[in-house]
Amino acid sequence: MSAPIGAFDSGLGGLTVIRALRERLPAERIVYIGDTAHVPYGGRPAEEIQAFSLAITRYLVETHSAKAIVVPCNTATSAAVPLLREVFPHLPIIGTEPGVKPAARATRTGVVGVLATVGTLNGDRMAQLVSTFAEGVTVLKQPCPRWVELVEAGKFDTPETEDAVRDCVGPLLSRNADVLVLGCTHFPALTPLIARVAGAGVTIIDTTEAVVRRVTDVVPAAPPGSVGGLTLYATGTDIERFASGADYLLGAGNSIPPVGIGELRTFGGYRGIVLN
């Protein structure tokens, strides 16, 4: 069996990227960990996220022989990817960053809004992205911690979620933003709702496709004839909720079978449940 790609996020959000990765690279095996015992990552100190990210990456490398690590999490990328690259210098590690560069190119009003976690918005990498790619553009930073909670709760399109989307998007629109950057991998799960609230004329940017392209560029492909697959772990106890959110985000109706709840395992100090 060929070596898998390892991936992790705080919970369900990263599956928005995994879905696209599976569609593009169906022969790859992917082992994904939703660190639901610690979700949300967004308000945590960087040191804590580094500790979680290191433990998970070690597990993916040592137990699953992962040939690369994808971090479909803007917050963990900002806090921990530089450290992961130091600790695992020979391992391809692909992070996820807010699409500030395409947003700065797309805006006509000169105002863009970045929707992300507090950790991502306050991180050094965000400051670098703005100073490198958005000179002369007003970049409004909008934290939306409630959106992460709602996605984790499976409330993808409810009146409560619509209110939460309005609360974050409204202030950006009233300051004339015409581009919204989804700087958290949980947020593409709400794209139809965000688009409805923002209305025509507002461009929504997410970096899912950019991450998939980067993976196809730098990760050695599975040998010909390989059979792909997806193994999901969740570290938290509310496994039914994780499984049903995963079914929704992985896209019922595409070629991916629904996840089933499988065996309980322990790994790297975590108790996890293997799905599918």
Separation of alpha carbons 122 and 165, rounded Å = 21
Residue 225 DSSP symbol: T
CB of 117 to ligand DGL, least distance (A): 4
Separation of alpha carbons 1 and 102, rounded Å = 38
Asked whether position 50 contacts ligand DGL by CB under 6 A, the answer is no
Nearer to ligand DGL, 40 or 99 (CB): 40
Asked whether position 74 contacts ligand DGL by CB under 6 A, the answer is yes
Segment interacting with ligand DGL (CB under 6 A) among 50-58, 68-76, 105-113, 200-208: 68-76
- Count of beta carbons in the 10 Å neighbourhood of residue 117: 27
CB of 1 to ligand DGL, least distance (A): 29
Residue of 33, 56, 114, 184 marked active site: 184
Print the binding letters for residues 3-22 with ligand DGL: x by CB under 6 A, - otherwise: ------xx--x---------
Q: What residues between 205 and 244 interact with ligand DGL by CB under 6 A?
A: none
Separation of alpha carbons 60 and 267, rounded Å = 10
Asked whether position 53 contacts ligand DGL by CB under 6 A, the answer is no
Helix (H) or strand (E) holding 130: helix 124-133
Strands (E), the chain: 5-9, 29-34, 68-70, 93-94, 111-116, 138-143, 179-182, 203-206, 229-234, 261-267, 270-275
In single-letter form, the type of residue at position 144 comes to C
Asked whether position 41 contacts ligand DGL by CB under 6 A, the answer is yes
Catalytic annotation present for 184 = yes
Contacts with ligand DGL by CB under 6 A lie at: 9-10, 13, 39-42, 73-75, 117, 120, 148, 184-186
